[in-house]
Structure 1
Amino acid sequence: MKVRKAVFPVAGLGTRVLPATKAMPKEMLTIVDRPLIQYVVDEAREAGIEHFVFVTGRNKGVIEDHFDRMFELDTTLRERSKQAEMELLERDQPAAGAMSFTRQQAPLGLGHAVWCARDVVGDEPFAVLLPDELVLNTPGCLKQMIDVAHDLGPKANLLAVEEVPMERVHQYGVVGVGASKGKAFEVSSMVEKPPREKAPSNLSITGRYILQPEIFKILETQERGAGGEIQLTDGMVGLAKSQKFYGLRFEGERHDCGSKAGFLRANIAYGLRRPELADGLREEMRRYLKA
């Protein structure tokens, strides 16, 4: 199974991290010195994704600008012989025509956002990456998933999952565990935010998916679910009636950057992984904790 396209739902309001997101998209908040959206695009690029589809909303134009060339900046860096900075920007620059942007005019949920990408994705399997969830690992989470997906058949769907404490399963979409298939396992059921006593496992669905295009037809007529929104999990439950779903316990450290505590934790974790920053950051943390 070849996965060439990835969808990035970036139309959300970022209410969990207000007031920072009143005028700035949460996807442009920085972890160390790079915006969140750059990390997930880099993850997709590492996995071999060729086309990047952004589902945007109002006040999200800065995301499109981030991936465009800024001639004034390029000229200034060149005039000042800032070679390292020029190479850094060039490395992150996408190829011409590799990115598409489409609008989700109303906040109708993740399922609706994915459906808005239907015409760009077309009739082929695709990935979905939620930009406020980062996975710190090499290879990245999506690369791990695509490597596994090759052995699951042409019409398989794959979800990244991780263990969560049983007392928190009511906060997540949770999967039931079926037979193993290599590194993956068959998903026997999917339940959105179940009470602890009814949860089929403690494996939660995280923000990485590989889905078949048949999901679009289901989402097109799907009724609103929890929160009055069109839920992606509900659409996947419908698709599971005709296609197999698998789960993968990915390797890596997941960071929920949509919460304030998770955002701060991610900055520390990613900073400590940078050789040029790690020692100085540890020293600053020791100094602060002693104060």
Structure 2
Amino acid sequence: MKKVRKAIIPAAGLGTRFLPATKAIAKEMLPIVDKPTIQFIVEEALAAGIEDILIVTGKGKRPIEDHFDSNFELEQNLSSKGKTELLNIVEETTGINLHFIRQKRPLGLGHAVLQAKAFVGDEPFVVMLGDDIMVDQTPLTKQLINCYDDTNAATLAVMQIPESETSKYGIIDPEAAVNDSLYSVRRFVEKPNSEEAPSNLAIIGRYLLTPEIFTILEGQKPGAGGEIQLTDAIDTLNQTQRVFAHTFQGTRYDVGDKLGMLEANIEYGLKHPDTKDSLKTYLKELLIKIN
């Protein structure tokens, strides 16, 4: 059984939900306090033991590459002024085995993943969406890798959502519980309305897939929204090999949503050593004003 060594991070989206900020800034570079959202995703991958990461970009995403590149002038400036702590923070984003490829046209998540075919080769791999920041004692990507080590099969992360929100997600039709957190799946449905949804277990932005998915994606017809949907390809894959769903029990921040981004900033700010005390005081004072 081949080791899971590679990750794909699709980052070619236009970020329209954060206009006008994303007119000139890649949405993946929007900060949570002082760290770009995409850095949280890369850090999760590294903590899970991933060795090589491919970021699929599009127009206007060059700042992502610059962020993970070395900046000699900045590093020299910090070093000369003895700002060792800041220098260490800057150097954390360099020395990572990062690769970049451009998705020339926005044809959907499935199409973005297909751009990684040559990078992945014949190995299992993970797909990590940048809109979802996952917090748990064991990184969610590592949880999926552990499932793969046990089953030798593709596994997706899922989470219960309100039934009214099923039209925003890929939804699974669970067949049988393998254990407390793992399901075999009958089918996968992309963005069904609440009346047609087979469950309220939604795919939440972490996928461990086998390389056979690429052959399916190459022949995949456009689905919901006129795009090549990864969920549709996974449903086809499930017809020839097992695909499991792993229930995530940690905390998820949907930073592709304005409210989710605000929640992540507040909760991360309450833990950050530079902001936690003053932010806590501010929130207490704000609560008094609101009431």
Mapped partners of 1:57, 1:167: distance in 2: 32
Q: CA deviation at 1:180?
A: 2.5
Aligned to 1:14: 15
- Answer yes or no: is the 8 Å Cα contact 2:191–2:224 preserved in 1: no
Mapped partners of 2:78, 2:112: distance in 1: 38
Mapped partners of 1:106, 1:170: distance in 2: 24
Runs of 4+ in 1 over 4 A off after TM superposition: none
Q: Percent sequence identity over matched residues?
A: 48
Mapped partners of 1:13, 1:124: distance in 2: 30
Secondary structure (helix, strand or coil) at the match of 1:77 reads helix
* Counterpart residue identity of residue 272, structure 2: R
Q: Is 1:52 matched up with 2:53?
A: yes
Any residues of structure 2 matched to 1:155-194 within 5 Å, and which? 156-182=153-179, 183-194=181-192
Q: CA deviation at 1:202?
A: 0.8
Q: CA deviation at 1:228?
A: 1.1
Q: CA deviation at 1:178?
A: 2.1
Q: CA deviation at 1:17?
A: 0.8
* Counterpart residue identity of residue 277, structure 2: D
Any residues of structure 2 matched to 1:260-275 within 5 Å, and which? 260-275=258-273
- Answer yes or no: is the 8 Å Cα contact 2:55–2:101 preserved in 1: yes
- Answer yes or no: is the 8 Å Cα contact 1:141–1:251 preserved in 2: no
Q: CA deviation at 1:45?
A: 0.3
Aligned to 1:289: 287
CA shift digits 1:191-242 (9 cap, x unpaired)? 1122223221110011000001111111112111111111111111111111
Q: Is 1:37 matched up with 2:35?
A: no
* Counterpart residue identity of residue 48, structure 1: G
Mapped partners of 2:280, 2:82: distance in 1: 32
Aligned to 1:79: 80
CA shift digits 1:260-281 (9 cap, x unpaired)? 1111111112222335532321
Aligned to 2:142: 143
Q: CA deviation at 1:87?
A: 1.6
Q: CA deviation at 1:109?
A: 0.4
Secondary structure (helix, strand or coil) at the match of 2:176 reads strand
**Runs of 5+ in structure 2 lacking a partner?**
none
* Counterpart residue identity of residue 231, structure 1: Q
* Counterpart residue identity of residue 53, structure 1: L
Q: CA deviation at 1:123?
A: 1.0
Aligned to 1:209: 207
CA shift digits 1:58-105 (9 cap, x unpaired)? 11111011111000001101110111111222233234xx11111100
**Runs of 5+ in structure 1 lacking a partner?**
none
* Counterpart residue identity of residue 151, structure 1: D
Mapped partners of 2:67, 2:274: distance in 1: 25
Q: CA deviation at 1:259?
A: 1.3
TM-score between the two structures when normalised by the length of structure 2: 0.95
CA shift digits 1:137-170 (9 cap, x unpaired)? 22221112112221012xx111100001112222
Q: CA deviation at 1:10?
A: 0.4
Instruction: Pick one of 250, 253, 270 that aligns with 2:251.
Output: 253
RMSD: 1.3
CA shift digits 1:17-66 (9 cap, x unpaired)? 11110000000000111000100000000000000101111111110111
Mapped partners of 1:161, 1:42: distance in 2: 21
Aligned length, in residue pairs: 287
* Counterpart residue identity of residue 260, structure 1: K
Mapped partners of 2:277, 2:246: distance in 1: 34
Mapped partners of 1:249, 1:230: distance in 2: 25
Secondary structure (helix, strand or coil) at the match of 1:142 reads helix
Secondary structure (helix, strand or coil) at the match of 2:92 reads helix
* Counterpart residue identity of residue 170, structure 2: G
